[in-house]
Structure 1
């Protein structure tokens, strides 16, 4: 069984690992950047109706070979109806007609809609997505500042920043496509991580008020132990659902599910390490939650 002293060493080591991973992620983002999807860079979007016997993998394989580029194939609802996304050439005449390419492996080809998303629209989406993440962090900062003493609030906020940077670094290192679906998952991860941080911070605050003589390191360990079962059950059940999406959801949900999976694990990790280490480093103590003395002056 892990002792309280060993748990403190484990938290400190975990925080060092998290800081190293954050630095690697920031370096990779600065040097390599993200592989933005068509939602941000622009491209062609074609809605077609093909033979019902064709699968998404077969259509994707044929088109990627013909176009020599990644192609996103998403089922549109009705059997045989698909939405195709692929990068647009510099001039439309440089690319063979998509209907001709589809006719090679499908007897029935019906073009329902073809549209072009320009780079300007994609840039606007990227700016709005970044603004959404920034506003979310600022709102969370305001909420934490009102609810907790600044030492606890700083730990919770840094844990959120850790999760965002780690996920962005993962997509930068792997070169996976970063699109609007991944951005939506990133915002959802912030909610899960915030929930874990609030739970552990609330528990630390309660222990500070009830045990004025104990050091903050031991109180942090007790807070983790008392909330660990709840955290594991909540995160575990969510991971089961996300894992099912990852394995069975197919290509359209791959980016979303892997972002949620890594984000939930990272959020649980950062809550037990970074969110508890910052109050220790800033010397949080019971005196910071002691009631203000009442003056005897009339």
Structure 2
């Protein structure tokens, strides 16, 4: 496998680069056409806390609640055993409010409604605004760091790789119309940090090789940088993917969106740092002279 990569790494970089661009276009079109299916965290809804039999689990409750409360019903465990928090859409105007106690009575001997409240759409809009601001501030801080750490041609590859990862996750949720809630948004912020770390490792290696091998073409420099960091990338990404996969399988409905977003982000972050992060600087004509000290004219 390593020998194959060594002999064909440039072709792999170019192919994955074209695939990445195509996936970005598809994701942007899907996002513009269908938009995101915002969850109750953003749109508002009903929140009911109940106490039921301790033997019941999340899947038992979801199975009986969804037919009556709607597809976007979510159930999370509270701070005590047998206590659950149920979130579901506000009933349409004129429709009768569902009786949670009667629904859960089919599977639980005892049902106590602890609290019942409504989260208004204004609160949801505030979350959208604050979330967008958090994402913008994160991107601006990352942009400032990249401009300080690397020459702009090399920094642009890392920045586009970050944008690529976020766009792919948003495109996936737009195409599948899975619920986009606060946990998914938290995953996007985590993906930014993870992908940035991967891109910086490769970019740092490219910078070192540019200075050490000034007569080597940039295409070969990028090939050598990817090969030198490949084992580290595979170990890091592989172990992280195993952790996220375990979270996806065992985390239940509440963490499903987070785990899926992280899984996609880690995969795309791994190949985007190799493809986009190295191909774009080539297109922008990155050369060793951009990292060499400028000559000072000693003439009086």
TM-score tier (shorter):
over 0.9
Give 3-state SS (helix, strand or coil) of 1:14's partner: helix
> Secondary structure in 2 aligned to 1:293?
coil
The one of 249, 252, 256 equivalent to 1:250 is 252
* CA distance, structure 2, for counterparts of residue 95 and residue 124 of structure 1: 26
CA distance in 1, matches of 2:77, 2:97: 24
- For the residue of structure 2 that corresponds to 1:137, the secondary structure is helix
Q: Deviations for 1:157-208, whole angstroms, at most 9, x for unmatched residues? A: 0000000000000111111111000000110011010001111000000000
Match of 2:36 in 1: 34
Q: CA–CA distance in 2 between the matches of 1:28 and 1:68?
A: 25
C-alpha RMSD of matched pairs (Å): 1.4
Aligned equivalent of 2:84: 82
Q: Among 190, 193, 202, which residue is 2:192 paired with? A: 190
1:68-93 CA-to-partner distances (Å, cap 9, x unmatched) read: 44311111132211000000113486
Q: Compute the TM-score of the two structures, normalised by the length of structure 2.
A: 0.95
Q: How far off its partner does 1:66 sit?
A: 2.2
The reply on whether 1:133 has 2:149 as its aligned counterpart is no
Check 1:92–1:55 CA distance in 2 against 1; reply closer, same or farther (3 A cut).
Answer: farther
CA contact (8 A) 2:211 2:288 kept: yes
The structure 1 residue matched to 2:116, chosen from 114, 117, 125, is 114
Unaligned runs of 5+ in 1: none
Q: 2:8 aligns with which of 1, 6, 9?
A: 6
Number of aligned positions between the proteins: 298
CA distance in 2, matches of 1:169, 1:130: 17
- Residue 201 in structure 1 maps to residue 200 in structure 2: no
TM-score, structure 1 length as denominator?
0.96
Q: Give ranges in structure 2 of 5+ residues lacking alignment.
A: none
Q: 1:274: how far off?
A: 0.1
> Secondary structure of the residue that 1:94 maps to in structure 2?
coil
SS of equivalent residue, structure 2 residue 4: coil
**Which of 282, 286, 297 is matched with 1:295 structurally?**
297
Work out the CA distance in 2 between the residues paired with 1:35 and 1:253.
17
3-state secondary structure, aligned to 1:296: coil
Taking a change above 3 Å as real, the CA distance of residues 2 and 113 of structure 1, as seen in their structure-2 partners, is same
Q: Which residue of 2 aligns with 1:55?
A: 57
- Hey, which bits of structure 1, 4+ residues long, moved more than 3 A? 90-93
Q: Which moved more, 1:254-263 or 1:145-154?
A: 254-263
Q: Residue 10 of structure 1: CA displacement?
A: 1.4
